[in-house]
Structure 1
Amino acid sequence: MRSALFLNGDCEDFESVDLEDYDLIIAVDGGAKRFLKAGLVPDLFVGDGDSLDESDLNELKALGCEVLLFPKEKDEIDTELALRKAIERGAKEIDIFCWMGERLDMLLALMYLMGSFNVKITAKSRKLIVGVVSTEVELEANPNEKWSIIPIAGDAYGVTLKGFKYEIANKNMPCDHPYGVSNIAILPRVKISVERGKVAYFRWLKEPS
């Protein structure tokens, strides 16, 4: 089962996402505004409502969207609550959209959350795709694309990179020496594996400025 989460960050590509590819569409708090503006209805709303007006919530309910409203004062951010709900309902693959923005604290929190569940979670935009690896993955790439592979939540051990200009085999990646930044894909498929720990990969679909 595939689920898509729409957050309240920058989102130039909202209308280009094919919602038919997903079994469960979740609007995360302010992300619901994009659906209302486009005349679309998500399957589920998850959030504390601090980025919406009460009229927005009432409209979602009237349109048939299931609304799960949480207290504003809580220990979880809305994205965590939405991820947990998606997984509770059977999602094995989750794509996150509208996640970029000025809140670097939220971006860092998202990276940690993406590596905290035993399902495939990917953050996507037109410019950048981000994922977290704790075992081994083979991923699509385009030759000459810029990729960065960075340890998160501690050092990563036994890291192997294949299909890149700078390949490594069973090498450790300490957090205080992020040498995996700005690698280059040279094959249409790349492999990233980790024996212990986690790494985040950043696949730049468009060259960053």
Structure 2
Amino acid sequence: MLGIVVTGGQAPSLGIIKNELDDADMIVAADSGLDTLLSYGYEPDLIVGDMDSISNRKILEKFHRSKILLYPEDKDYTDTELAINHLYEKGCTSVVVIGGGGGRLDHLIAIYSLFFRERAPVRWITDNEKIFLVKGSFCINLKINTVISLFPVTGQLCSMTSSGLKWPLDELEWNPGDGGISNVSSERTVKIDMKSGKLVMIIPLDDN
């Protein structure tokens, strides 16, 4: 069961994520992500957040109150995190975050930090990048020479094997804070098998 969170910040064009929106079992707009979602021509199943950054609160009047979960501005969780948690509580088995690019660095780090959580997104798509959660056996088809960066998102040692990369990961053991920038796909199919831990893979949006 696929859940989508559309959040505030810079987002990809509709053509990039239309298939994901069409395949979603549930779409949640987090705060000003509602503006983005409506600009795509889609309506949310639920709107979540404190609505402090939405373009115009009057937009909410077109939605039934049962579709709006309004939170106070002073809270312990970000709107994006609240939306992700709600989707998992509703039975989603994977969650994709759309938007959240550009803007404040602390907002970017806040979304990135969600990959460390038990209820982590499986993908995050901004206006410039695609970010994938890599755990267990991971396989992705890419154009040859796609630039790939990888970072641990776990408190434990990361040990892995790989194929399809110019610089294999087989002999590496990464601690938190380690990682690899600007690796390159040498084959169309890149495979990573995690012996322990989990990673995020970041690739440029323009390339794939």
- Code of the residue aligned with 1:199 in structure 2: it is L
Cα–Cα, structure 1 residues 118 and 31, in superposed 2: closer, same or farther, change >3 Å? closer
Does the residue aligned with 1:11 lie in a helix, a strand or coil?
coil
Instruction: Say whether the 8 Å CA contact 1:115–1:133 is kept in structure 2.
Output: no
Cα–Cα, structure 1 residues 77 and 20, in superposed 2: closer, same or farther, change >3 Å? same
User: CA RMSD, aligned part only?
Assistant: 2.4
TM-score (norm 2): 0.85
Deviation digits for residues 41-89 of structure 1, max 9, x if unmatched? 2111011111134312222338xx7111111111000111000111111
Task: Out of 106-115 and 89-98, give the one that drifted further.
Answer: 106-115
Distance, in Å, in 2 between the alignment partners of 1:126 and 1:50 is 22
Instruction: Say whether the 8 Å CA contact 2:84–2:121 is kept in structure 1.
Output: no
Aligned pairs, number? 204
Written as runs of structure 1 = structure 2, the 5 A alignment for 1:24-173 is: 24-37=26-39, 40-52=42-54, 53-61=56-64, 66-117=67-118, 121-125=122-126, 127-154=128-155, 156-173=157-174
Cα–Cα, structure 1 residues 153 and 168, in superposed 2: closer, same or farther, change >3 Å? closer
Aligned to 2:203: 203
Deviation digits for residues 151-188 of structure 1, max 9, x if unmatched? 2344643122221000121521234553x110000112
- Code of the residue aligned with 1:188 in structure 2: it is R
Instruction: Say whether the 8 Å CA contact 2:12–2:128 is kept in structure 1.
Output: no
Instruction: Say whether the 8 Å CA contact 2:165–2:190 is kept in structure 1.
Output: yes
- Code of the residue aligned with 2:62 in structure 1: it is E
Structure 2 segments unaligned to the other structure (5+ residues) = none
Aligned to 2:10: 10
